[in-house]
Amino acid sequence: MKHVAIVGSGPAGCYLADQLLRLVPDARVDIVERLPVPFGLVRYGVAPDHQGTKAVARLLDRVLARDRLRFFGNVEVGRDVRLDELRELYDAVVLATGAPRDRRLGIPGESLPGVIGSASFVGWYNGHPDCAAPPLLDVREAVVIGNGNVAIDVARVLAKNAAELAGSDLSPHVHERLLAQRIETIHIVGRRGPADAKFTRAELAELGKLANARPIIAEPQALAEAQRALAAAHNPDNAQSPEHSRTSGEAAAIVEVLSGFAQAPDVRETAVRIVFHFGATPLAFEGGERLEAVRFARAGIEPLVLPAQLAVSCIGYQAIDCCTATPNAGVFANEGACIEDGLFVTGWAGRGPSGTIPTNRTEAQRVAQRIVAELDDHGRGGGEALAARLAARGVRVVDHAGWRRIDAAELARAGADRCRHKFESIEAMLEASSAR
């Protein structure tokens, strides 16, 4: 029997486990997860009001329930078992640990209260046990730095009213904290122009449908410039590769939605304005005891200074150490998913924070084939040996049945206007995992 350990139970890890089980009939796959609950960014990264996207968890859960797969929840590599131990027990080990750390801007004032990275902020409103509540105090203006879907998610969650959040899994106390703010303006600020924004069309267009807020374009001339550039790019006399044409088409779709925002009649009164700024590079967070404003540089014109009591930086994420394995420039260096003999990587930990959830399924097929080509049966102990070692150390392992008990308890404790009420501490999860 061949034994593979996957460290991390997000989409990358689960999709890879599924592929390996399909390709290798004589393999056992164990997923080692430091939290008592699985699914990584599906649970803690996807916005709480996007339950359609989170529904993929049901498919991933079916993977965890498969024969020849074992879930080791509440087991942290480096705390409960060393990476070199896993490599001794398994024929292959795969790091699917994601990229949980915020990239930093490295500008003055980044440590001021009121300045927070999106991993921490999104983790907080998604109930991640590691993410403490940010110091929200009478927030009237918020600045969201970044031009990707995470920035859109943050702005949308800040702007939605109580009725629009019904049916989400936003926790009651987070909802109370958000509703207690008197947010009037949310600025979304990007360093590049509109055509370079990384929003998807559907996410961006959703902002135009909010009951409580309306999107505004601060500098409409930037849209005109983007439209001219895109028109020139589509000139038949300008030869383009198919990839470039596809990218240009995506950019045109984004500019079209932004243009619709700019041309919308200014007749709808809303409590919140969502203001888009382009071509602005963050220079400093300003304030005394807490954040008061964010300063941006703009080419050829005066700096942009936006008053703010909250700033969320959405500029990307980085992988972190997994015991003795150390990332370089935010990812684990690898050649075709292989870090070194017997050690592999998949998902954001290896490629960086790019793509969508289905991207991991496509990548899993390629990574699985690479692992299978090098996978040999060394007669190692695998999951049985790991379980014995963890038991000897007194580690409280949550298996798949334990996770399902947590899942059932979270669904049962949800109120009438919520689909789920997550446990937000490890202790509460562990207690629910053993309840009968």
Q: What is the b/e burial string over 145-176, where b = at least 16 CB atoms within 10 angstroms of the residue's CB?
A: bbbbbbbbbbbbbbbbeeebbeebbbbeebbe
List CB contacts of 66: < 8 A, sequence separation 6 or more. 17, 18, 21
**The amino acid at 394:** G
Question: Is residue 11 very low, low, confident or very high in pLDDT (cuts 50, 70, 90)?
Answer: very high
Check whether 5 has a pLDDT greater than 50. yes
Give the distance, in angstroms, between the CA of residue 64 and the centroid of all CA atoms in the same chain: 21
* pLDDT (average), residues 76-103: 97
| Residue-level pLDDT at 224 | 87
Tell the CATH topology of 104-313.
FAD/NAD(P)-binding domain (3.50.50)
Burial of residue 401 (CB within 10 Å: 0-12, 13-18, 19+) is exposed
| Residue-level pLDDT at 243 | 43
* pLDDT (average), residues 290-294: 98
Give the distance, in angstroms, between the CA of residue 345 and the centroid of all CA atoms in the same chain: 18
Cα–Cα distances (Å) from 182 to 98, 157, 267, in that order, read: 35, 14, 22
| Residue-level pLDDT at 241 | 47
Percent of the chain surpassing pLDDT 70:
96
| Residue-level pLDDT at 44 | 97
Q: Lowest-pLDDT range, 138-152, 229-243, 288-302, 341-355?
A: 229-243
Check whether 42 has a pLDDT greater than 60. yes
Q: How many CA atoms lie within 13 A of 334 on its CB side?
A: 27
The two structure tokens encoding residue 146: 């970044």
3-state secondary structure the chain: CEEEEEECCCHHHHHHHHHHHHHCCCEEEEEEECCCCCCHHHHHCCCCCCHHHHCHHHHHHHHHCCCCEEEEECCCECCCECHHHHHHHCCEEEECCCCCEECCCCCCCCCCCCEEEHHHHHHHHCCCCCCCCCCCCCCCEEEEECCCHHHHHHHHHHHCCCCCCCCECCCHHHHHHHHCCCCCEEEEECCCCHHHCCCCHHHHHHHHHCCCEEEEECCHHHHHHHHHHHHHHCCCCCCCCHHHHHHHHHHHHHHHHHHHHHHCCCCCCCCEEEEEECCEEEEEEEECCCEEEEEEEECCEEEEEEECCEEEECCCEECCCECCECCECCECCCECCEEECCEEECCHHHHCCCCCHHHHHHHHHHHHHHHHHHCCCCCCCHHHHHHHHHHHCCCCCECHHHHHHHHHHHHHCCCCCECCCCCCCHHHHHHHHCCC
Output 407 or 234, whichever has higher pLDDT.
407
The two structure tokens encoding residue 253: 């779709």
| Residue-level pLDDT at 231 | 83
* pLDDT (average), residues 350-369: 95
Output 242 or 180, whichever has higher pLDDT.
180
Q: Which CATH superfamily is domain 2-100+317-433 in?
A: NAD(P)-binding Rossmann-like Domain (3.40.50.720)
List CB contacts of 28: < 8 A, sequence separation 6 or more. 1, 2, 3, 4, 68, 69, 70, 382, 383
| Residue-level pLDDT at 244 | 44
Domain boundaries, the chain: 2-100+317-433, 104-313
Question: Is residue 10 very low, low, confident or very high in pLDDT (cuts 50, 70, 90)?
Answer: very high
List CB contacts of 339: < 8 A, sequence separation 6 or more. 95, 325, 332, 333, 345
| Residue-level pLDDT at 230 | 87
Convert the pLDDT of each residue in 242-287 to its tens digit: 444 446 788 999 999 999 999 887 767 789 999 999 999 999 999 9
Phi-psi region of 350 (alpha: psi -120 to 50; beta: other; left: phi over 0): alpha
Q: What's the pTM value of the predicted model, to 2 decimals?
A: 0.93
Convert the pLDDT of each residue in 47-80 to its tens digit: 999 999 999 999 999 999 999 999 999 999 999 9
| Residue-level pLDDT at 246 | 43
List CB contacts of 283: < 8 A, sequence separation 6 or more. 107, 108, 295, 296, 297, 303
| Residue-level pLDDT at 227 | 87
| Residue-level pLDDT at 242 | 46
Q: How many CA atoms lie within 13 A of 431 on its CB side?
A: 7
Q: Lowest-pLDDT range, 142-156, 169-183, 235-249, 348-362?
A: 235-249
Q: Lowest-pLDDT range, 179-188, 246-255, 422-431?
A: 246-255
| Residue-level pLDDT at 233 | 74
| Residue-level pLDDT at 411 | 97
Output 360 or 264, whichever has higher pLDDT.
360
Check whether 239 has a pLDDT greater than 80. no
Check whether 136 has a pLDDT greater than 80. yes
